[in-house]
Amino acid sequence: MSPATERPGVFDSGLTTPDFAACLSMGLEPLALVQGFFCGQLAGWSTYQAAVVTNYPCGYGWGGGGNDHPPPGWLGVATALDEAWSTAFSTAHQRLVDEARGLGAHGVVGARVEMSHPTNDRSSEVHLYGTAVRLAGAGAGPLWTTRIAGHKLAKLVEAGYAPASVLYSRCTAVMYEGCYMEHWGPNLVGAGSPLEPIQDVHHLARSRALQDAARQAGGHSLYDVQLAAHEMEGRTTYVSCQILGSLVRRVRPTMPIAAPVTTVGLDD
């Protein structure tokens, strides 16, 4: 292949053998493994920095409370924390794009995303890597990225879509129990009964993460979606919902599906 002759040495790729072959069959020339990386420190934050969305009433029905009475519970979102992770992702993604563009690539396929706390819960690490590809005869244009490769990418193009970008959205919902929960209100919540604040914190995290994904998508479609929610329970419950997917854009109308033709019948 030409990359091997243009750059002496070992040819690297993050693709499996079938995905590599599928790229060649589509006219995509794999160039090299490219990556984008970000490691930073998250600003200090606490539950009191969460923007309150809903206040829960006192489980006893007390209005003013007292010195020995915990405050009512509330539900909120840690917007600053989510914005910090989104900035970390966008920075790593831009570095991935810059490295691929430096190779003369038109896109990056099979992009993988790794996110973690390398030292403690106030640190952030984002690593994106994938295979830069070039399409022979294609002109200059925005460099695209996608998490998919191989037959999935081939079927996507066959259906009239082209990859646009990798999307990441996130929402961290925070629920402070206060005096609402059952251990502050004996016999007020029966055993086995669903607790509304617990349901609310999960719903808020998922719904806002999906809303943010839809906002980022604009007029594009979201494909190959991965949704993951992580919960930490206690007096204060955190639910972080993260969405990863590939934005795709329609480039031609859907081809009509041919009418089925009977080849054999069960009564034959």
Return the higher-pLDDT residue of 33 and 41.
Answer: 33
Torsion sign across C-alpha atoms 69, 74, 79, 85: positive
Length of the chain: 268
Please give the CATH architecture assigned to the domain spanning 11-43+50-250: 2-Layer Sandwich (3.30)
Q: For the segment 114-149, what is each residue's pLDDT rounded down to a tens digit?
A: 998 877 777 889 999 999 999 888 777 889 999 999
Task: Give the dihedral of Cα atoms 172, 178, 181, 184; nearest 10 deg.
Answer: 160
User: What is the token pair recorded at 230?
Assistant: 């992580």
Other C-beta atoms within 10 Å of 10: how many? 6
Q: How far apart are CA 172 and CA 206, in angstroms?
A: 9
CA 76-78-81 angle, to 5 degrees, is 175
Strand partners, 243: 169, 227
- Extents of the domains making up the chain: 11-43+50-250
Q: How far apart are CA 143 and CA 95, in angstroms?
A: 12
- Backbone dihedral angles phi then psi of residue 165, each to the nearest 5 degrees: -165, 165
- Evaluate if pTM is beyond 0.85: no
Residue 67's pLDDT band (cuts 50, 70, 90): low
Q: For the segment 173-230, what is each residue's pLDDT rounded down to a tens digit?
A: 998 877 765 444 455 554 444 467 788 999 999 999 999 999 999 889 999 999 999 9
Other C-beta atoms within 10 Å of 79: how many? 15
- Do 127 and 88 touch, CB atoms closer than 8 A? no
Other C-beta atoms within 10 Å of 91: how many? 15
Q: What is the model's pLDDT at position 24?
A: 87
Mean pLDDT, all residues of the chain? 83
Q: Is 234 left (phi over 0), alpha (psi -120 to 50) or beta?
A: left
Task: Give the dihedral of Cα atoms 224, 149, 92, 170; nearest 10 deg.
Answer: 10
